[in-house]
A and B are shown apart, each in its own frame.
Chain A
C-alpha cells in the first residue's frame, strides 16, 4: 500500500470535504493483517464466535445422548434444545486435569475451560475468546462484547497476564454502547465523518507517540502489561478509524428499539428478561457489523427461586436426592431453567434473518461448564456443546465421545477453525495437539 500515507494525512484528507457520499477506499494501514474480508454485498458474511459459560453442570445420566455420532436423541436435560439438535455437537467424556494443584471448586474448571491452564500469575494464559478475537475481531467497532447475565463487572474473558475484559450487566448500557450516538448506520446513503470523532482520533496520537519512550523505560515484567495497554489503545484508535469510514453496507442491519432496562439480572425473572434483551442486541450488533465475538457469562450460581432461601450453588451441596426422582429436584429446576435460557438465546439469534440464513448460521457458540456434576465437584465426563457451524467450518449434529481426554481438545478445535494459528493448546496434562477431527468440516 502507498508509502508515505500516514494516519494524520488521512485525517487531514477527510477534513477536506465534509460530506462523502461514496465509500472511502480501504486504507490498509488502518487494518490488522489478520482481518478477514469485510462483508461486501453478495459475499459471504463473516464468521462470529460466542462463548456461553454456565456453572454447575448437569445431572449425571440426564444429559448425555445414548448413542454416538449423528441422529442422537437429546436426553432429558437437553430436551429443550431439540429445535437446534442438528446444529449442536455434544462432546462427552473429557476431563479437567489439576496436575497436583488444589481443586478450587467452581474456579479451577472455569480456568481450564477458558484458558486451557490454571493461572500462573503474571504469566497466566489468555482465554480462548481473546485469541479468537485477535483474529476475527479486528475490523469491527468492538473487538468483543462481554455480558454478565447475573450482574457484576467480572467476566471470564481475560488477556494474557490476567487483565479482565469488564462485563456489561445492563441492557440499557449495552444498547447505548452499541447503538447510541456513535453508531453509524452502515446502510445510510450519505456518510459524513463526525468532526468530534476526527478530533478524538487526532488527539490520541499524542498518547500513542509515547509508546517508544514508555517501552524503553519499563522493566521486562511490566513490558508485557504496557504492551497490552498499547494494543488496547490501538483498538480504540481502530474503533475511531472505523467510525470515520463509510461502513460497508450490511443488507440485514436494522437498528433495535431503544432499551431502558438497566437492572442487572439478580433474580430468575430478571435473568429471563435480560437474556432476551441481550440476545436481541447481539443479533442486531452482529447483523450491523459492530462485533464478531461475544462472551456470555451466565454466572447464575447465586440465583434463587423467588423467596427461596438457598441459592442454586448451595442447593447442589445441600439438597437431598429425591428418592422417587433419583436426582435433586430444585437443582434440576435450575439446570432446566439455564438450558431453557440458552435455547431462548439461540432462538433469538436464529430468528434474525440475513439473506438466506440467520445470524446463528454464521456463528459458532461454545458452551462449557465448571464441573460435570456440581454436587460432588466432578472434573470428568464434562458436558461440552458447540452450536452452529460458524459458516460451515464445523460439522454439526454429532455426539462425540473423547473419554479421558483433556477438555482442551474442544478449545483447540474451536480456535483452529476460527483461524487462530495454534498447533497445540493448554498446559501440562491439559495440553493437547489433537483437535476433534470428527467435527471439523
Chain B
C-alpha cells in the first residue's frame, strides 16, 4: 500500500472500509496542451501465464504442450494485470521460459506441424536455407513481437538459425532453436509501449500504431494482435477514430472476446489461487481435484452466461439461479447430473437452474467462492466476508493497526463454541478487533450454510446454523439475501468499472482519470450494466492511447552494463 493510501485508511468508528481503486495520488505529468485531459504513464507489462498460453495457442495451434512452470504473477491493487506492469524475470524464471520456449518451438517445427506452420521447404533438410528461414521467421516474428521485425532483428535470428543448423546438422532443429530464442526475447516476454509525439495534440504523446494494437488485443482478447489487427496498425488505421472503431467492432464479435472476458474474471475473482487450493480428503471426500476444477469452471460459465451469452445486467452474477453442472459437482450440490446432452450425446456440462427457494443463487454461493475462501479443513466467515468486500465491492479491509494487542486473547474461551458465529463472538468483546470483524464477519455468516468445501449444511458441530447477516446496514436472512444486497450495492458497479479500466490500462487509474471513470460508470448504468458495452467504451477511450511523455530523456539514460560484450559481438558482425 502506498503512503498516500495508508493515510486514507484511518479508523473512523466502524467505517474502516476504504475504496482503493482510483485514489492513488500521482503527480500530474506535464506535456499536453489539452487541459481537460491528463495523460497517464505508459507501462511495460510482462506477459501473464495465461497470455503466454493464449499466444502460443493462437500462433501455433491448440495442441502445443508448454511443459513448464511460470514465475508467480504478482497481484497489485486487486489485479494481476496491474502487477504485470511491475514484475521482472528472475534467473530461475528465465530458465523456465527458456525451457518452455524450446518445447514450443520444437513442436512447431516437428514432423507433425512443419507442413502446416512452416510455409516453405528447405532446399536440403540438413543444411541452412536462408530464404526459407527468412520466410518463416519474419512471419512468426511479426506475430510474436507484435510488430514486424527490423532487418537487424531478423538477421540476428537468421544467423542464429543457420549456426544452429550447422551445429545440429538439421534445418528444422536450427530453425526451431532460433524460434525458441525468439520466445525468450524481451520483445516477446514484455509488452512494451512505444510512445510518439501526438500530431493531434501539440506537445502531447500517444502510443505508436503497434502499441495501440497490443493495448487493444490484450484488453479484449488477453492475447497478442492477430494478423488483421497488425495490418490495420501498419496502415495507420488505429490512429483514426473510424479505423479504431472498425477494429474494436470486429474484435468484440470475435470468439476470442470470451478469452478476454474470462481473463478479467479469473483475475478479479482471484481464481489463479485454485492452483494451490487443497482440501482435506478425509473431511471433504467429494472435493476431488476434478471437482475443484469443475467448480472453478462452473462459476466462469455462470458469469459468461450472464455477461456474454445473455448480455444481461452484470449484477445478475450475484443473484442468478442459472448455472451449469457436471456429475462431480452434482454430488456436492446434491442434485443428480447425468452425462447427456439435449440430443443424447455425452456432455460433461449440463445447464441447471436452482429453484426459487433453494439457498443457492449467484456466484457467492457457489462452491468455487465458498471453498476458495476457506481454510483446508473448515469454512471461515471472516475470510469469506473479507473476500466479498475485496472482490465484489473493491473495498479493502485494513490490516490490524500496528499497536493492536493480541494479548487480549490470552484467556479467550472460544474453544467451547460450536458454531463459527459463537467462536467469533469473542472478537466483539475486544474493541480493537471488533471494529474490523463487525464489518466482515456478518457478511460471511450468511454463507455459513456452506461448509469448507461448499456443500450445504444446516448444523455445525451439532448446533443449528443461523445464516442471517448484514452488510452496510442492510440485513438479510440468508445467502440469497446477501446476493441481492450486493446486487443493490452501488459499490459493485463502481468496482467492475474501475477494475476493468485498470486491466485495460495495465495500471491503477490515476486521480486525474476519475472524471473518465465517472463517465464510464454513468454510461454503464444507462446501458443496463451490459459488460460488452462497457468494454467497448473503454476500448475506444483516449485514456488508453494518449500517454505522458517518454519517461527518460536520452541524456539521463544509463549505459547498459554489458556494453563491452555487446561491442565485441558487433565487431564480429563487421
Contact = CB atoms under 8 A, between A and B. Distances in A.
B178 A219 contact: no
Given A203-B160, A203-B164, A309-B378, A162 B92 contact: no
Interface in B174-212: 174, 177-178, 180-182, 184-187, 189-190, 192, 194
A208 B153 CA distance: 11
A211 B94 contact: no
A198 B569 CA distance: 17
A104 interface: yes
A154 B156 CA distance: 35
A152 B276 CA distance: 6
A321 B412 CA distance: 9
A203 B178 contact: yes
Dominant secondary structure at the A interface: helix
A208 to B, nearest CB: 8
Given A196-B168, A204-B184, A164 B71 contact: yes
Contacts of A232: 88-91, 93-94
B69 to A, nearest CB: 6
B404 A151 contact: no
B415 A229 contact: no
**Which one of A210, A222, A225, A228 has the greatest number of beta carbons of chain B within 10 Å?**
A222
Interface string A1-12: 000001111000
Nearest to A134: B91
B410 A203 contact: no
A162 B85 CA distance: 11
A202 B409 contact: no
A13 to B, nearest CB: 13
Interface string A88-131: 00000000001011111100000000000000011000000000
A73 interface: no
A202 B164 contact: yes
Contacts of B98: 236
Given A318-B414, A319-B415, A229 B88 contact: yes
A239 B159 CA distance: 22
Contacts of B552: 218-220, 223
Interface string A195-225: 1101110111111111110111111111111
A227 B402 contact: no
B378 A8 contact: no
Nearest to A160: B88
Given A164-B72, A164-B74, A376-B406, A229 B89 contact: yes
A430 B161 CA distance: 52
A233 B184 contact: yes
Nearest to B423: A318
B558 A165 contact: no
Interface stretch (B278-286, B338-346, B525-533): B278-286
A207 B276 contact: no
Interface stretch (A79-87, A300-308, A338-346): A300-308
Contact of B187 (A200, A202, A214, A314): A214
A228 B89 contact: yes
A395 interface: no
B42 interface: yes
Given A166-B71, A166-B72, A307-B282, A195 B168 contact: yes
B378 A153 contact: no
A256 interface: no
A239 B95 contact: yes
A217 B398 CA distance: 39
A366 B377 CA distance: 32
B283 A309 contact: yes
Given A163-B90, A195-B167, A206-B156, A229 B189 contact: yes
A427 interface: no
A310 B380 CA distance: 11
A200 B399 contact: no
Contacts of B156: 205-206, 209-210
Given A200-B102, A232-B94, A319-B415, A121 B167 contact: no
A165 B91 contact: yes
B36 interface: no
Interface in B1-59: 2, 6, 41-42, 44, 46
A246 interface: no
Contacts of A215: 557-558, 560
A207 B153 CA distance: 9
A431 interface: no
B86 A122 contact: yes
A353 interface: no
A227 B98 CA distance: 17
Interface in B542-558: 550-552, 554, 556-558
Interface residues of B, number: 92
B264 interface: no
B574 interface: no
B486 to A, nearest CB: 27
Nearest to B553: A220
A434 interface: no
B96 interface: yes
Contacts of B71: 153, 163-166
A144 to B, nearest CB: 7
Given A102-B6, A219-B42, A232-B89, A375 B406 contact: yes
Interface in A176-206: 195-196, 198-200, 202-206
Nearest to B1: A102
A227 B190 CA distance: 12
Interface string A223-267: 111111111111110010000000000000000000000000010
Contact of B93 (A142, A163, A319): A163
Contact of A306 (B282, B409, B565): B282
B94 to A, nearest CB: 4
Interface string B144-159: 0000000001001101
B543 to A, nearest CB: 19
Interface string B98-116: 1000100000000000000
A206 B157 contact: yes
Contacts of A40: none
Contact of A219 (B95, B407, B415, B551): B551
Contacts of B187: 210, 214
Interface string B382-403: 0000000000000000111110
Nearest to A266: B278
Nearest to A376: B406
Nearest to B412: A320
A217 B192 contact: yes
5 contacts: A142-B95, A144-B91, A199-B164, A239-B95, A314-B375
Q: What are the 4 tightest A-B residue pairs by CB atom distance, in nearest-first order?
A: A219-B551, A232-B94, A228-B88, A376-B406
Interface of A: 6-9, 15, 29, 98, 100-105, 121-122, 142-144, 146, 151-154, 157-159, 161-166, 173, 195-196, 198-200, 202-212, 214-236, 239, 266, 302, 304, 306-311, 313-314, 317-321, 375-377
Given A8-B572, A105-B399, 17 more contacts: A100-B402, A162-B86, A165-B92, A165-B93, A195-B167, A198-B167, A199-B167, A199-B168, A202-B160, A203-B180, A211-B566, A219-B550, A222-B44, A222-B551, A225-B44, A318-B414, A377-B406
